[in-house]
Amino acid sequence: MEKFLVKGPSKIKGEIKISGSKNSSLPILCASILFDKRVEIKNLPKVRDIETLLEILSKSLGFAVRRNKQKNSVIIFKTKKINTFCSYKLVSTMRASINLLGPLISKYKKATLSLPGGCLIGARPVNYHLSALKKLGMKYKIKKGYIHAHVEKNLVGTTIKFPKISVGATANTIIAACFAKGKTILKNCAIEPEIKYDLTNFLNKAGAKIKWIGKRTVRIYGVKSLKSISYSVMGDRIECGTFCVAATISNGNLKIKGLNPNIINTELNYLKKTGAKIKKSKNEIHIKGPKKVKCIKFLQTKEYDGFPTDLQAQFMALLCKANGQSIISENIFENRFMHVAELRRLGAKILIRGNKAIIEGNTNFEGAELMSSDLRASVALVIAASVANGKSIINRIYHLDRGYERIEKKLKKVGVNIKRIS
Protein backbone atom coordinates (compact mmCIF):
# COMPACT_ATOMS: atom_id res chain seq x y z
CA MET A 1 0.00 0.00 0.00
CA GLU A 2 1.40 3.39 -0.97
CA LYS A 3 1.70 6.20 1.55
CA PHE A 4 2.89 9.80 1.66
CA LEU A 5 5.83 10.97 3.76
CA VAL A 6 5.37 14.70 4.49
CA LYS A 7 7.88 16.89 6.36
CA GLY A 8 6.54 20.20 7.60
CA PRO A 9 6.21 23.05 8.07
CA SER A 10 6.41 24.38 4.52
CA LYS A 11 5.15 27.50 2.77
CA ILE A 12 3.37 27.11 -0.55
CA LYS A 13 4.86 29.37 -3.22
CA GLY A 14 4.70 29.32 -7.00
CA GLU A 15 2.23 28.43 -9.70
CA ILE A 16 0.13 25.36 -10.57
CA LYS A 17 -2.34 24.38 -13.28
CA ILE A 18 -5.62 22.77 -12.30
CA SER A 19 -6.54 19.46 -13.95
CA GLY A 20 -9.87 18.75 -15.64
CA SER A 21 -12.85 18.23 -13.34
CA LYS A 22 -13.40 14.64 -12.14
CA ASN A 23 -17.05 15.38 -11.31
CA SER A 24 -17.66 16.83 -14.75
CA SER A 25 -15.76 14.12 -16.65
CA LEU A 26 -17.76 11.29 -15.03
CA PRO A 27 -21.29 12.28 -16.20
CA ILE A 28 -19.92 13.40 -19.58
CA LEU A 29 -18.24 10.02 -20.10
CA CYS A 30 -21.51 8.29 -19.11
CA ALA A 31 -23.38 10.48 -21.62
CA SER A 32 -20.99 9.26 -24.38
CA ILE A 33 -23.15 6.09 -24.39
CA LEU A 34 -25.84 8.10 -26.23
CA PHE A 35 -23.61 8.60 -29.28
CA ASP A 36 -23.71 6.49 -32.47
CA LYS A 37 -20.58 8.09 -33.80
CA ARG A 38 -17.21 8.82 -32.22
CA VAL A 39 -17.01 11.43 -29.47
CA GLU A 40 -13.77 12.99 -28.25
CA ILE A 41 -13.46 14.20 -24.65
CA LYS A 42 -10.41 16.28 -23.71
CA ASN A 43 -8.80 17.65 -20.53
CA LEU A 44 -9.68 14.48 -18.58
CA PRO A 45 -7.86 14.28 -15.22
CA LYS A 46 -5.54 11.30 -14.79
CA VAL A 47 -7.35 9.95 -11.70
CA ARG A 48 -8.46 6.46 -10.77
CA ASP A 49 -12.21 7.10 -11.01
CA ILE A 50 -11.80 8.09 -14.66
CA GLU A 51 -9.70 4.99 -15.34
CA THR A 52 -12.39 2.86 -13.70
CA LEU A 53 -15.19 4.38 -15.75
CA LEU A 54 -13.21 4.00 -19.01
CA GLU A 55 -12.63 0.36 -18.08
CA ILE A 56 -16.37 -0.12 -17.50
CA LEU A 57 -17.20 1.53 -20.85
CA SER A 58 -14.73 -0.68 -22.73
CA LYS A 59 -14.51 -4.00 -20.87
CA SER A 60 -18.02 -4.17 -19.42
CA LEU A 61 -20.16 -2.35 -22.00
CA GLY A 62 -18.09 -3.04 -25.13
CA PHE A 63 -17.35 0.51 -26.34
CA ALA A 64 -14.11 1.18 -28.19
CA VAL A 65 -11.99 3.55 -26.08
CA ARG A 66 -8.91 5.11 -27.67
CA ARG A 67 -6.68 7.04 -25.22
CA ASN A 68 -4.25 9.82 -25.94
CA LYS A 69 -2.52 9.99 -22.54
CA GLN A 70 -0.28 12.89 -23.45
CA LYS A 71 -3.24 15.06 -24.30
CA ASN A 72 -5.41 13.69 -21.48
CA SER A 73 -8.03 12.91 -24.09
CA VAL A 74 -10.09 9.93 -25.16
CA ILE A 75 -12.11 8.98 -28.23
CA ILE A 76 -15.08 6.73 -27.57
CA PHE A 77 -17.19 4.99 -30.19
CA LYS A 78 -19.75 2.26 -30.16
CA THR A 79 -19.06 -1.16 -31.61
CA LYS A 80 -21.31 -3.94 -32.87
CA LYS A 81 -21.35 -5.67 -29.49
CA ILE A 82 -22.65 -3.24 -26.91
CA ASN A 83 -23.45 -4.89 -23.62
CA THR A 84 -25.73 -3.39 -20.97
CA PHE A 85 -24.46 -5.25 -17.90
CA CYS A 86 -22.28 -3.64 -15.22
CA SER A 87 -20.92 -5.81 -12.42
CA TYR A 88 -20.84 -5.19 -8.66
CA LYS A 89 -17.06 -5.58 -8.76
CA LEU A 90 -16.69 -2.49 -10.95
CA VAL A 91 -19.63 -0.42 -9.66
CA SER A 92 -18.59 -0.91 -6.02
CA THR A 93 -15.24 0.73 -6.78
CA MET A 94 -16.89 3.76 -8.39
CA ARG A 95 -20.34 4.74 -7.16
CA ALA A 96 -20.89 7.30 -9.90
CA SER A 97 -21.44 4.30 -12.22
CA ILE A 98 -25.12 4.68 -11.31
CA ASN A 99 -25.01 7.46 -13.95
CA LEU A 100 -24.72 4.75 -16.60
CA LEU A 101 -28.34 3.80 -15.99
CA GLY A 102 -29.93 6.85 -17.62
CA PRO A 103 -28.02 6.69 -20.92
CA LEU A 104 -28.23 2.88 -21.18
CA ILE A 105 -32.00 2.70 -20.82
CA SER A 106 -32.51 5.79 -22.98
CA LYS A 107 -30.34 4.55 -25.86
CA TYR A 108 -30.35 0.74 -25.49
CA LYS A 109 -33.69 0.34 -23.67
CA LYS A 110 -32.25 -1.97 -21.04
CA ALA A 111 -29.60 -2.17 -18.31
CA THR A 112 -28.49 -4.56 -15.58
CA LEU A 113 -26.51 -2.50 -13.14
CA SER A 114 -25.27 -3.33 -9.67
CA LEU A 115 -26.60 -1.05 -6.96
CA PRO A 116 -23.64 1.02 -5.77
CA GLY A 117 -22.82 0.28 -2.15
CA GLY A 118 -22.65 3.01 0.43
CA CYS A 119 -19.34 4.55 1.29
CA LEU A 120 -17.62 6.00 4.32
CA ILE A 121 -19.34 9.39 4.07
CA GLY A 122 -22.87 8.01 3.94
CA ALA A 123 -25.42 5.46 2.77
CA ARG A 124 -25.56 7.15 -0.66
CA PRO A 125 -28.97 5.76 -1.75
CA VAL A 126 -30.08 6.11 -5.39
CA ASN A 127 -33.84 6.39 -4.85
CA TYR A 128 -34.07 9.81 -6.55
CA HIS A 129 -32.35 8.39 -9.65
CA LEU A 130 -34.72 5.42 -9.83
CA SER A 131 -37.93 7.37 -9.17
CA ALA A 132 -37.11 10.04 -11.78
CA LEU A 133 -36.19 7.49 -14.48
CA LYS A 134 -39.36 5.53 -13.62
CA LYS A 135 -41.42 8.67 -14.26
CA LEU A 136 -39.82 8.82 -17.74
CA GLY A 137 -41.03 5.27 -18.37
CA MET A 138 -38.25 3.02 -17.08
CA LYS A 139 -39.47 -0.27 -15.60
CA TYR A 140 -37.18 -1.96 -13.07
CA LYS A 141 -36.88 -4.47 -10.32
CA ILE A 142 -34.09 -4.96 -7.82
CA LYS A 143 -32.84 -8.51 -7.39
CA LYS A 144 -29.78 -9.68 -5.46
CA GLY A 145 -28.30 -6.17 -5.40
CA TYR A 146 -28.77 -5.54 -9.13
CA ILE A 147 -31.10 -3.10 -10.88
CA HIS A 148 -32.78 -4.93 -13.78
CA ALA A 149 -34.21 -2.10 -15.90
CA HIS A 150 -35.85 -1.89 -19.29
CA VAL A 151 -38.02 0.42 -21.43
CA GLU A 152 -40.89 -0.69 -23.63
CA LYS A 153 -40.38 1.23 -26.92
CA ASN A 154 -39.20 4.66 -25.73
CA LEU A 155 -38.85 6.93 -22.72
CA VAL A 156 -41.55 9.63 -22.72
CA GLY A 157 -40.98 13.20 -21.53
CA THR A 158 -42.87 14.48 -18.49
CA THR A 159 -42.51 16.94 -15.60
CA ILE A 160 -40.47 15.73 -12.61
CA LYS A 161 -39.71 17.55 -9.34
CA PHE A 162 -36.80 16.07 -7.38
CA PRO A 163 -37.77 15.62 -3.68
CA LYS A 164 -34.26 16.72 -2.70
CA ILE A 165 -31.43 18.32 -4.66
CA SER A 166 -29.15 15.58 -6.02
CA VAL A 167 -26.17 16.12 -8.35
CA GLY A 168 -26.13 12.55 -9.65
CA ALA A 169 -29.89 12.18 -10.06
CA THR A 170 -30.05 15.50 -11.96
CA ALA A 171 -27.26 14.40 -14.33
CA ASN A 172 -28.70 10.92 -14.85
CA THR A 173 -32.17 12.23 -15.69
CA ILE A 174 -30.97 15.04 -18.00
CA ILE A 175 -28.94 12.48 -19.97
CA ALA A 176 -31.87 10.02 -20.16
CA ALA A 177 -34.32 12.76 -21.22
CA CYS A 178 -32.20 13.66 -24.30
CA PHE A 179 -33.82 10.76 -26.21
CA ALA A 180 -37.21 10.75 -24.40
CA LYS A 181 -40.16 11.52 -26.66
CA GLY A 182 -41.41 15.11 -26.32
CA LYS A 183 -40.77 17.59 -23.53
CA THR A 184 -39.25 16.89 -20.10
CA ILE A 185 -39.20 19.51 -17.36
CA LEU A 186 -37.00 18.82 -14.30
CA LYS A 187 -37.52 20.91 -11.16
CA ASN A 188 -35.47 21.31 -7.98
CA CYS A 189 -32.31 20.35 -9.90
CA ALA A 190 -28.74 20.48 -8.69
CA ILE A 191 -26.96 23.43 -10.35
CA GLU A 192 -23.33 22.52 -9.77
CA PRO A 193 -21.34 24.00 -12.74
CA GLU A 194 -20.34 20.48 -13.81
CA ILE A 195 -24.04 19.84 -14.59
CA LYS A 196 -25.61 23.24 -15.35
CA TYR A 197 -22.74 24.28 -17.64
CA ASP A 198 -20.40 21.49 -18.63
CA LEU A 199 -22.76 18.51 -19.10
CA THR A 200 -25.42 20.80 -20.64
CA ASN A 201 -22.92 22.43 -23.05
CA PHE A 202 -21.46 19.04 -24.01
CA LEU A 203 -24.86 17.57 -24.91
CA ASN A 204 -26.15 20.72 -26.65
CA LYS A 205 -22.98 20.92 -28.74
CA ALA A 206 -23.90 17.43 -30.02
CA GLY A 207 -27.44 18.50 -30.88
CA ALA A 208 -29.40 17.91 -27.68
CA LYS A 209 -32.08 20.46 -26.81
CA ILE A 210 -31.46 21.37 -23.16
CA LYS A 211 -32.38 24.80 -21.78
CA TRP A 212 -32.26 26.03 -18.20
CA ILE A 213 -35.55 27.95 -17.83
CA GLY A 214 -35.24 28.72 -14.10
CA LYS A 215 -32.52 28.68 -11.40
CA ARG A 216 -33.15 24.98 -10.67
CA THR A 217 -35.49 24.14 -13.60
CA VAL A 218 -34.37 22.64 -16.91
CA ARG A 219 -36.35 21.81 -20.03
CA ILE A 220 -35.27 19.05 -22.44
CA TYR A 221 -36.86 18.32 -25.84
CA GLY A 222 -36.10 14.76 -26.97
CA VAL A 223 -34.06 14.29 -30.16
CA LYS A 224 -33.39 11.16 -32.25
CA SER A 225 -29.60 11.11 -32.14
CA LEU A 226 -26.47 13.11 -31.31
CA LYS A 227 -23.69 14.07 -33.69
CA SER A 228 -19.98 13.40 -33.36
CA ILE A 229 -18.17 16.17 -31.40
CA SER A 230 -14.99 16.99 -29.55
CA TYR A 231 -15.34 18.63 -26.11
CA SER A 232 -12.92 19.87 -23.45
CA VAL A 233 -13.98 19.39 -19.81
CA MET A 234 -13.88 22.35 -17.39
CA GLY A 235 -11.25 22.74 -14.64
CA ASP A 236 -11.73 21.02 -11.30
CA ARG A 237 -13.16 23.59 -8.86
CA ILE A 238 -12.63 21.33 -5.83
CA GLU A 239 -8.97 20.79 -6.68
CA CYS A 240 -8.68 24.56 -7.12
CA GLY A 241 -10.35 25.19 -3.75
CA THR A 242 -8.07 22.61 -2.16
CA PHE A 243 -4.93 24.43 -3.36
CA CYS A 244 -6.39 27.77 -2.24
CA VAL A 245 -6.77 26.33 1.27
CA ALA A 246 -3.20 24.97 1.14
CA ALA A 247 -1.87 28.43 0.27
CA THR A 248 -3.98 30.10 2.99
CA ILE A 249 -2.99 27.73 5.81
CA SER A 250 0.74 28.07 5.04
CA ASN A 251 0.98 31.86 4.70
CA GLY A 252 1.73 31.01 1.10
CA ASN A 253 1.68 32.83 -2.21
CA LEU A 254 0.18 30.82 -5.06
CA LYS A 255 -0.96 31.40 -8.63
CA ILE A 256 -3.57 28.91 -9.85
CA LYS A 257 -4.39 28.60 -13.54
CA GLY A 258 -7.08 26.65 -15.35
CA LEU A 259 -10.35 27.70 -13.75
CA ASN A 260 -12.80 30.61 -14.04
CA PRO A 261 -12.59 32.04 -10.47
CA ASN A 262 -16.21 33.20 -10.57
CA ILE A 263 -17.51 29.64 -10.15
CA ILE A 264 -15.91 29.42 -6.71
CA ASN A 265 -16.90 32.85 -5.38
CA THR A 266 -18.44 31.41 -2.20
CA GLU A 267 -15.27 29.55 -1.25
CA LEU A 268 -13.06 32.53 -2.11
CA ASN A 269 -15.22 34.84 0.04
CA TYR A 270 -14.81 32.49 3.01
CA LEU A 271 -11.04 32.36 2.42
CA LYS A 272 -10.98 36.17 2.46
CA LYS A 273 -12.79 36.00 5.82
CA THR A 274 -9.88 33.89 7.14
CA GLY A 275 -7.46 36.62 5.99
CA ALA A 276 -6.40 35.45 2.54
CA LYS A 277 -5.71 38.13 -0.07
CA ILE A 278 -7.14 37.12 -3.44
CA LYS A 279 -6.76 38.58 -6.93
CA LYS A 280 -8.92 37.11 -9.71
CA SER A 281 -8.41 37.35 -13.46
CA LYS A 282 -10.04 35.55 -16.40
CA ASN A 283 -8.71 32.07 -15.84
CA GLU A 284 -6.43 32.59 -12.87
CA ILE A 285 -6.44 33.12 -9.11
CA HIS A 286 -3.56 34.70 -7.17
CA ILE A 287 -3.90 33.94 -3.46
CA LYS A 288 -1.72 35.00 -0.49
CA GLY A 289 -2.24 33.48 2.92
CA PRO A 290 -2.33 35.58 6.12
CA LYS A 291 0.33 35.41 8.83
CA LYS A 292 -2.44 34.37 11.26
CA VAL A 293 -5.63 32.65 10.02
CA LYS A 294 -8.85 34.20 11.29
CA CYS A 295 -11.66 31.98 12.61
CA ILE A 296 -15.12 31.70 11.03
CA LYS A 297 -17.87 31.70 13.62
CA PHE A 298 -20.22 29.48 11.60
CA LEU A 299 -19.79 27.75 8.23
CA GLN A 300 -22.32 25.33 6.76
CA THR A 301 -22.12 23.11 3.69
CA LYS A 302 -24.90 23.53 1.15
CA GLU A 303 -25.77 22.61 -2.38
CA TYR A 304 -24.19 24.88 -5.03
CA ASP A 305 -23.81 27.84 -4.92
CA GLY A 306 -23.45 27.39 -1.17
CA PHE A 307 -20.22 26.25 0.47
CA PRO A 308 -19.33 22.81 -1.04
CA THR A 309 -19.27 19.70 1.14
CA ASP A 310 -16.26 18.56 -0.91
CA LEU A 311 -14.20 21.35 0.64
CA GLN A 312 -15.41 20.90 4.23
CA ALA A 313 -12.54 18.69 5.40
CA GLN A 314 -9.89 20.93 3.88
CA PHE A 315 -11.45 24.00 5.53
CA MET A 316 -11.55 22.22 8.87
CA ALA A 317 -7.78 21.69 8.69
CA LEU A 318 -7.41 25.41 7.97
CA LEU A 319 -9.65 26.47 10.87
CA CYS A 320 -7.63 24.36 13.30
CA LYS A 321 -4.94 27.03 12.83
CA ALA A 322 -7.35 29.96 13.26
CA ASN A 323 -7.16 32.53 16.09
CA GLY A 324 -10.29 31.30 17.84
CA GLN A 325 -13.29 28.96 17.76
CA SER A 326 -15.03 28.07 14.48
CA ILE A 327 -18.09 25.88 13.89
CA ILE A 328 -18.71 23.82 10.73
CA SER A 329 -22.09 22.25 10.01
CA GLU A 330 -22.14 19.36 7.47
CA ASN A 331 -25.59 19.36 5.91
CA ILE A 332 -25.16 17.16 2.84
CA PHE A 333 -23.76 13.83 4.05
CA GLU A 334 -24.52 12.07 7.31
CA ASN A 335 -21.00 10.92 8.12
CA ARG A 336 -18.46 13.28 6.65
CA PHE A 337 -16.29 13.88 9.70
CA MET A 338 -13.91 10.92 9.23
CA HIS A 339 -10.98 13.36 9.12
CA VAL A 340 -11.68 14.68 12.66
CA ALA A 341 -10.09 11.74 14.48
CA GLU A 342 -7.00 12.03 12.25
CA LEU A 343 -6.71 15.82 12.71
CA ARG A 344 -6.85 15.19 16.47
CA ARG A 345 -3.80 12.93 16.06
CA LEU A 346 -1.98 16.01 14.74
CA GLY A 347 -3.06 17.92 17.87
CA ALA A 348 -6.35 19.48 16.77
CA LYS A 349 -9.01 20.21 19.41
CA ILE A 350 -12.35 19.45 17.74
CA LEU A 351 -15.68 18.50 19.32
CA ILE A 352 -18.43 16.80 17.32
CA ARG A 353 -22.06 17.58 18.20
CA GLY A 354 -24.37 15.84 15.72
CA ASN A 355 -23.62 17.30 12.30
CA LYS A 356 -21.59 20.14 13.80
CA ALA A 357 -17.84 20.28 14.44
CA ILE A 358 -16.60 22.82 17.01
CA ILE A 359 -12.97 23.63 16.20
CA GLU A 360 -11.00 25.28 19.02
CA GLY A 361 -8.30 26.78 16.76
CA ASN A 362 -4.79 27.99 17.78
CA THR A 363 -3.40 24.50 17.10
CA ASN A 364 0.22 23.91 16.20
CA PHE A 365 0.09 20.61 14.36
CA GLU A 366 2.76 18.05 15.35
CA GLY A 367 3.59 15.44 12.70
CA ALA A 368 2.03 11.98 13.20
CA GLU A 369 1.06 8.77 11.37
CA LEU A 370 -2.38 9.19 9.78
CA MET A 371 -5.01 7.13 7.98
CA SER A 372 -6.86 8.32 4.87
CA SER A 373 -10.58 7.58 4.68
CA ASP A 374 -12.52 9.25 1.88
CA LEU A 375 -11.05 11.30 -0.94
CA ARG A 376 -11.46 14.80 0.52
CA ALA A 377 -10.66 13.81 4.10
CA SER A 378 -7.36 12.43 2.81
CA VAL A 379 -6.32 15.65 1.11
CA ALA A 380 -7.21 17.57 4.28
CA LEU A 381 -4.62 15.43 6.10
CA VAL A 382 -1.99 16.25 3.46
CA ILE A 383 -2.72 19.97 3.90
CA ALA A 384 -2.48 19.73 7.70
CA ALA A 385 0.70 17.62 7.52
CA SER A 386 2.31 20.17 5.18
CA VAL A 387 2.21 22.78 7.97
CA ALA A 388 2.81 20.39 10.89
CA ASN A 389 6.11 20.43 12.78
CA GLY A 390 8.05 17.33 11.80
CA LYS A 391 7.28 14.18 9.89
CA SER A 392 3.87 12.73 9.03
CA ILE A 393 2.97 9.49 7.25
CA ILE A 394 -0.37 9.35 5.46
CA ASN A 395 -1.56 5.80 4.76
CA ARG A 396 -4.03 4.41 2.17
CA ILE A 397 -3.46 7.22 -0.30
CA TYR A 398 -5.32 5.25 -2.96
CA HIS A 399 -8.32 7.28 -1.68
CA LEU A 400 -6.49 10.40 -2.85
CA ASP A 401 -5.55 8.94 -6.22
CA ARG A 402 -9.26 8.59 -6.97
CA GLY A 403 -9.68 12.30 -7.39
CA TYR A 404 -6.34 14.14 -7.44
CA GLU A 405 -3.90 13.78 -10.34
CA ARG A 406 -0.46 12.94 -8.79
CA ILE A 407 -1.04 15.57 -6.12
CA GLU A 408 2.45 15.10 -4.66
CA LYS A 409 4.02 16.35 -7.93
CA LYS A 410 1.97 19.54 -7.84
CA LEU A 411 2.61 20.10 -4.12
CA LYS A 412 6.36 19.43 -4.45
CA LYS A 413 6.52 21.97 -7.28
CA VAL A 414 5.19 24.68 -4.93
CA GLY A 415 7.43 23.88 -1.98
CA VAL A 416 5.88 21.06 0.03
CA ASN A 417 8.29 18.37 1.23
CA ILE A 418 6.25 15.30 0.23
CA LYS A 419 7.08 11.97 -1.31
CA ARG A 420 5.19 8.82 -2.24
CA ILE A 421 6.60 5.68 -0.59
CA SER A 422 5.44 2.08 -0.81
Query: Nearest 5 degrees, angle CA 173-CA 115-CA 179?
Result: 25
**311 to 5, 30, 52, 212, 375: CA distances (angstroms):** 23, 25, 23, 27, 11
Does position 166 bind ligand EPZ by CB under 6 A?
yes
Asked about 320 being catalytic, the answer comes back as no
- Can residue 48 be called a binding residue for ligand EPZ (CB under 6 A)? no
Q: Which residue is nearest to ligand EPZ (CB)?
A: 168
CB of 92 to ligand EPZ, least distance (A): 14
Q: How many positions of this chain bind ligand EPZ (CB under 6 A)?
A: 23
- Binding window for ligand EPZ (CB under 6 A); candidates: 122-130, 181-189, 212-220, 383-391: 122-130
Taking the complex as a whole, the smallest distance from the CB of residue 172 to ligand EPZ amounts, in Å, to 9
Q: Is 379 in the site for ligand EPZ (CB under 6 A)?
A: no
Is residue 21 close enough to count as binding ligand EPZ by CB under 6 A? no
Nearer to ligand EPZ, 164 or 211 (CB): 164
Closest distance to ligand EPZ from the beta carbon of 45 (Å): 11
To ligand EPZ, the closest distance from the beta carbon of 27 in angstroms equals 7
Shortest reach from residue 166's CB to ligand EPZ, in Å: 3
Binding mask 321-350 for ligand EPZ (x = CB under 6 A): -----------xx-----------------
Q: State yes or no: residue 234 binds ligand EPZ (CB under 6 A).
A: no
Contact 180, 291 (CB under 8 A): no
Pairing verdict, β 209-214 and 217-221: antiparallel
Q: For every residue of the chain, which 3-state class applies, written as one string?
A: CCEEEEEECCCCEEEEECCECHHHHHHHHHHHHHCCCCEEEECCCCCHHHHHHHHHHHHHCCCEEEEECCCCEEEEECCCCCCCEECHHHHCCCHHHHHHHHHHHHHCCEEEEECCCCECCECCCCHHHHHHHHHCCCEEEEECCEEEEECCCCCECCEEECCCCCHHHHHHHHHHHCCCECEEEEECCCCCHHHHHHHHHHHHHCCCEEEEEECCEEEEECCCCCCCCEEECCECHHHHHHHHHHHHHCCCEEEEECCCHHHHHHHHHHHHHCCCEEEEECCEEEEECCCCCCCCCEEEECCCCCECHHHHHHHHHHHCCCCCCEEEECCCCCCCCHHHHHHHHCCCCEEEECCEEEECCCCCCECCEEECCCHHHHHHHHHHHHCCEEEEEEECCHHHHCCCCCHHHHHHHCCCEEEEEC
Q: Which of 45, 102, 103, 168 binds ligand EPZ (CB under 6 A)?
A: 168
Per CB under 6 A, 127 contacts ligand EPZ: yes
- Return the number of the residue (78 or 376) whose C-beta is nearest ligand EPZ: 376
Q: For the chain, give the longest Cα–Cα distance.
A: 64
262 in contact with ligand EPZ (CB under 6 A) = no
| Residue 128 found at the interface with ligand EPZ (CB under 6 A) | yes
Identity at 57, one-letter amino acid code: L
User: Toward ligand EPZ, which CB reaches closer, 236 or 295?
Assistant: 236
Q: How far is the CB of 194 from ligand EPZ (least distance, A)?
A: 7
Q: Does the footprint of ligand EPZ cover residue 245 (CB under 6 A)?
A: no
* 223 burial level (CB within 10 Å; 0-12, 13-18, 19+): middle
Q: Any contact of residue 26 with ligand EPZ (CB under 6 A)?
A: yes
With contacts defined by CB under 6 A, name the span among 60-68, 107-115, 118-126, 254-262 that binds ligand EPZ: 118-126
Binds ligand EPZ by CB under 6 A, chosen from 310, 330, 342, 405: 310
Catalytic site residue from 119, 189, 244, 320: 119
Applying CB under 6 A, does 193 fall inside the site for ligand EPZ?
Answer: no
Binder to ligand EPZ among 47, 50, 96, 105 (CB under 6 A)?
96
- Alpha-carbon torsion angle 43, 276, 386, 349, nearest 10: -120
Strands 110-114 and 85-86: parallel
Q: Considering the rule CB under 6 A, would residue 375 count as an interface residue with ligand EPZ?
A: yes
Nearer to ligand EPZ, 263 or 322 (CB): 263
Of 68 and 127, which CB lies nearer to ligand EPZ in the complex structure?
Answer: 127
Contact with ligand EPZ (CB under 6 A): which of 19, 32, 52, 309? 309
CB of 38 to ligand EPZ, least distance (A): 24
Least CB distance from residue 190 to ligand EPZ, whole Å?
Answer: 6
**Residues of the shown chain interacting with ligand EPZ in the complex, contacts defined by CB under 6 A:** 23, 26, 96, 122, 124-129, 164, 166-169, 190, 309-310, 332-333, 375-376, 403
Which are the catalytic amino acids?
119
